[in-house]
Structure formats: C-alpha cells, structure tokens
Amino acid sequence: MKLPSRFQYVTESILKPLTARLRSVKETITETTEPRPVHDLWTAERLKAFAAAHFQNRRLIVVSNREPYTHTKERGARRVSTPPSGLVTALDPILRATSGLWVAHGSGNADRETADAEGKLMVPPEHHCYTLKRVWLTKEEEAGYYYGFSNETLWPLCHLTHNRPFFLERDWLAYQQVNRKFADAIVAECGEDRPLVLVQDYHFTLLPQMIREQRPDAVIGLFWHIPWPTVEIFQICPWKEAILLGMLGADFLGFHLQSYANNFLTTVNQMLPVRIDWDRSATLHEHGTTLAKPFPISIQPWSERGVPSETELQERALAYRKELELGEERLVVSVDRLDYTKGIPERLQAIDRFLEKYPHYVGKVRFIQLGAPSRIHIPRYRDLVMQIERLTDEVNWKHGTADWKPVLLLKAQHDPMAVYGFLHMADVCIVSPLHDGMNLVAKEYVAARESNEGALILSAFTGVAREFQEALLINPYDSQGFAEAIRQALEMPPEEQQRRLARMKAHVAEYNVYRWAADLLNEIARAAEAIHQAPAAATS
Ligand code: F6P
C-alpha cells in the first residue's frame, strides 16, 4: 500500500534517520564499553594475502591530492620528504602491502626530474614497493582547485570552527577542471580488467562520476577523511547537487564515523531525487546504489617503522633536552599542522589559565608545540601562524622567568622519527582540535608509550574521541575545564595512567591501519561482486 505523502515524509525524513542515529549511539556505546582484547591481528602480510585472494593480483589504484613522497631541491641539494598528513600515514603501508598505483599531485620543485615522462617513479625511495604517478597542475589550477575550492570552500564548510567558507565561481571551475584531469590520468591506467579505484577525500568529489562515465565497469570507493556536516550547513553550498551527484558515482563512500555517514544520507535525502535505504545505509539512485559506511582510520604500528632502540631514544632525549635547553621539567607535547581547526590558540589560552591557577607549576613543566606550516598561501593560515606566535610570546612573557619559558613553539615539518622521539618523551600529550574527522596524533601518542605511562588530553570534538573514552576528554573552547584537565593529567597516579593507556593501546593495536584497509578492500570486493547484479530501483 502506498503511504500518503505526509506519512512518507515523516518516515523517510524523521523516523528512519532517527533510527540510524539511535543505531549510531548504540554502536558507540558498544565500542566504548566492551573489553577489547587483541585477538585478531591484521598485519601487512595478512593484508597482502587478503588482497591477492580477493583481487587475483588486480592492481588497486589509489588517488589523493597529497603525494606520499615529495622531491624538493634547495641550493642544488635534492631531498625527499613525507608530508605531515594523516592520509599519507595511513595509505602508504597499504600501497606497500598491495604493490598498487598511487596517483597524486606532483607538488615538489624537484618532482619532475625524479619521475619518468609519464610522471611515474617507484617508491618508497629506500625500498621500491609501488608506483607513484604524479599529475602536474598549473599554478592557476593549484590556486583554484587546492587553495581555493578544496581549502577555502569545502574544508571550512565541513569543519565546525566558525570560519566561513568562500564560494567563488573561478575556484569551482578550476576544481572541475582538475577533477577531470585526474579522471583522465586514472582512466589511462585502468587496463582491461574491471579497475579498482579508491579515491581519497574532499579534493575529488566529482571524480567518481567522471571515472564512471568513461569506465562504467569500474569499482569505485571514496574515503572522506574529514567530518561530513549536517544538512543545514551543507545546503549553503551553491554547487551542492553537483558535488553529491559526483560522489554518488562511487559504489561506496567511507567515513570515519556512523554519524558522518548519517549526515551524508540525510543531506542527499533532502537534496536529490533519490531514495535512502536506512537499514543498509545506502542511497538508491538512477545509476545504482551507493553505500555510506563508517571505517575509522588508524595507524601503522611504530615497531614497523624502524624506531630507534630504547638506548638510542634515551640518548636522543638527552640531546633534545640539551639542544632545547630543557631542564628536568615535565613535558607536555602537541603535534599539529598549523591549521585553524586544530585549536592551537585555544590551547595556549588554556595553558595561560592553567599557569594562572596553578603558579607552583612555573619552572616545572614545559609545553612543546610541534607545528608544521600548512597551506601558507591562504591568508587565514598565514594569519593563524602570526596569532600563534603572538599568543606564545604573550604566555611566555606573562609566566616566564629569567631562565624558563612555558611554551616552546617548534615551527617546522618534523620527520616521523622526530615526532616519535617527542611523543616518547611526553609525560602528557594534548590533542585539542575544535573539530577533526579522526586525528591520528592521538593514536600515535598512545602507541608510542612503551612504558604504559603518560596521559592524553583529547578534544571531544574529534572522531578518535569515540574510540578513546579513557582519555581526558575536554571541550577546547572551555579554557577553565581545559586547564583543569592539564592539572589532572600532570597529577594522575601512575596506576591510573597505566590502566587508561593499556586499554587505548590494546584498541589501537587491534584496530590498526591494516584492519582499516582490509575493511575497505572487503567493501571493494563486495561491490565488485554486486556490480553484475541488476541496479537497484531508482526513486521518487
Ligand atoms: O586529513 C585531512 C587532510 O586534508 C588530508 O587530506 C591531507 O592529507 C591532510 O589533511 C593535510 O592537508 P594538506 O594535504 O592540504 O597539506
């Protein structure tokens, strides 16, 4: 029986989304209260075997804006570096394990001279495992697509930080043009077999549909590394329909959390003539079905990354302490890209409040901020750096003494081993974004604590907070509560530190990046099987 449209509206727009939300709450409760023993470990080898079994050595093509290895040249000296990117940290081990192809923007000034005529080279540099194909962009394309539409439109649109997005027609045109360029580069690599393509992030919302037009047989997934906002927020984007249609070219969309997937489904439900199957978390549209599911991203175990021995670490720690003129102070460390979503000014305000309230900590604790400059051609990112420097200076001037300053700002792109060294030394780690899809630094810290001692202060507005209920959860806007958490972290008894860390460590060990990858690959395999079935009925 066909329901009258009012009932249909109530069912489709209120009851079913509500059911999905309740399910998401239930999943969160289960996730955070059940014990998490390490019983089913995913490793690089297991992932490799899994990929071989499911794809019979068909090549996985991964696409992202950021490349995993960048070649730069300064005063004639060439160097290769890995960017400060959670996405790169997570995907590199997967490509290593599956020997696939990674397509990305070649952004380094020595990238062309280190690639062949097709923009290809084997990476990692020290141990060739997979192919990187670099796509070249003009300055104008990079300005409009990356600095403009990706990072001045979609980034502020999806992060709740009260920074408004800009909607410029010329950026939108460049974004379309670059998505098209990537689509052509990918299709050229697809070969005869049904290609398997895993698109990364908000830089490429149009790519799934563009690839699908040329290769209807492709299996396409898109993983969204940032939050998906509520429909009330997303609807202000003038090109919302085109973006959603572009994404629906994929067989499945991955988000960190069920709640982001729900926001996405609610958004398409209200904006496009599609039908939502809330039970399957799926959008049924005229070209088929697109699933929207949670896949919380994670990290590669530190033990696989050539970390120094305990003795070496002790030596390094002594060297750092000497170089940075640290005494015996307790260390509180933060590691971030210098981005306004990371809440660094709010963190400095909380440090100020903490030292005002607890002056006996003067000279006894040092706050070290590792900050990697990011997106520096965007004025608000440049302004943020100046704001952070000014606030650091103010806090240091206000609370500092002749031979001690509370905050040490180390503004540079630190390599992973330096980050590990600092996380290893940190008595406390602060991860306090205003909003963050996941945040892998929190997972990196927990995993780096070999002794099981240390405390994590974590913003409740990060995806990782769902998994880390044992952290000291804070509201980064509440400097009073934040300051209290700093005190609590510094005064936490060792047994409590161990109890909390042990649970979080066990969780990260089990839910590592290989499990994340396996879940995604499994979804690709399922989509590949479903592809021959008749497309689901389209809609109202
Ligand atoms: O995690 C979100 C993200 O935008 C990734 O896509 C990206 O690699 C990272 O942040 C760093 O940003 P960018 O690549 O713009 O330097």
Has residue 245 been placed in a domain? yes
Give 398's contacts (C-beta < 8 A, 6+ positions apart): 352, 355
Quick check: 55 and 525 in contact, CB under 8 A?
Answer: yes
**In this structure, are 349 and 462 located in the same domain?**
yes
**In this structure, are 283 and 323 located in the same domain?**
no
Mean pLDDT over 155-170 rounds to 98
pLDDT band at 24 (very low <50, low <70, confident <90, very high): low
Q: When comparing pLDDT for 312 and 491, which is higher?
A: 491
Positive or negative CA dihedral for 195, 293, 338, 457? Answer: negative
Nearest Cα to 424, choosing from 457, 393, 452? Answer: 452
**In this structure, are 251 and 307 located in the same domain?**
no
Ligand 1 environment, Cβ below 6 A: 65-66, 83, 85-87, 201, 225-226, 337, 374-375
Report whether pLDDT(537) > 70.
no
Maximum distance among all Cα pairs of the chain, rounded to whole angstroms:
81
**In this structure, are 354 and 280 located in the same domain?**
no
pLDDT band at 32 (very low <50, low <70, confident <90, very high): very low
Quick check: 71 and 110 in contact, CB under 8 A?
Answer: yes
Q: Quick: pLDDT tens for 379-390.
A: 999 999 999 999
Mean pLDDT over 326-342 rounds to 96
**In this structure, are 293 and 335 located in the same domain?**
no
**In this structure, are 359 and 442 located in the same domain?**
yes
Q: Which domain holds residue 280?
A: 42-298+515-531
| pLDDT at residue 340 in the model | 98
Report whether pLDDT(57) > 80.
no
Has residue 2 been placed in a domain? no
Quick check: 434 and 226 in contact, CB under 8 A?
Answer: no
**In this structure, are 49 and 146 located in the same domain?**
yes
Ligand 1 center to 512 CA (angstroms): 20
To the nearest 5 percent, what fractions of the chain are helix, strand and coil? 50, 15, 35
pTM above 0.85, yes or no: yes
Kindly state the percentage of the chain with pLDDT values over 90.
77
Has residue 125 been placed in a domain? yes
Q: How many domains does the chain have?
A: 2
**CA–CA dist 250, 218 (Å, integer):** 9
Has residue 96 been placed in a domain? yes
| pLDDT at residue 201 in the model | 97
**In this structure, are 420 and 362 located in the same domain?**
yes
**In this structure, are 151 and 227 located in the same domain?**
yes
- CA 203 to ligand 1: nearest atom: 6
| pLDDT at residue 23 in the model | 60
CA atoms within 13 A on the CB side of 182: 32
| pLDDT at residue 31 in the model | 45
- CA 202 to ligand 1: nearest atom: 6
CATH number at 417 reads 3.40.50.2000
**In this structure, are 327 and 418 located in the same domain?**
yes
| pLDDT at residue 12 in the model | 57
**CA–CA dist 165, 162 (Å, integer):** 9
**In this structure, are 353 and 281 located in the same domain?**
no
Has residue 26 been placed in a domain? no
pLDDT band at 2 (very low <50, low <70, confident <90, very high): very low
Has residue 22 been placed in a domain? no
Has residue 21 been placed in a domain? no
Report whether pLDDT(341) > 50.
yes
| pLDDT at residue 173 in the model | 98
Ligand 1 center to 215 CA (angstroms): 28
Has residue 6 been placed in a domain? no
Q: Quick: pLDDT tens for 484-516.
A: 999 999 999 999 999 999 999 999 999 999 999
Residue ranges of alpha helices (H) inside 411-510 are 416-425, 440-448, 479-490, 494-510
**In this structure, are 268 and 308 located in the same domain?**
no
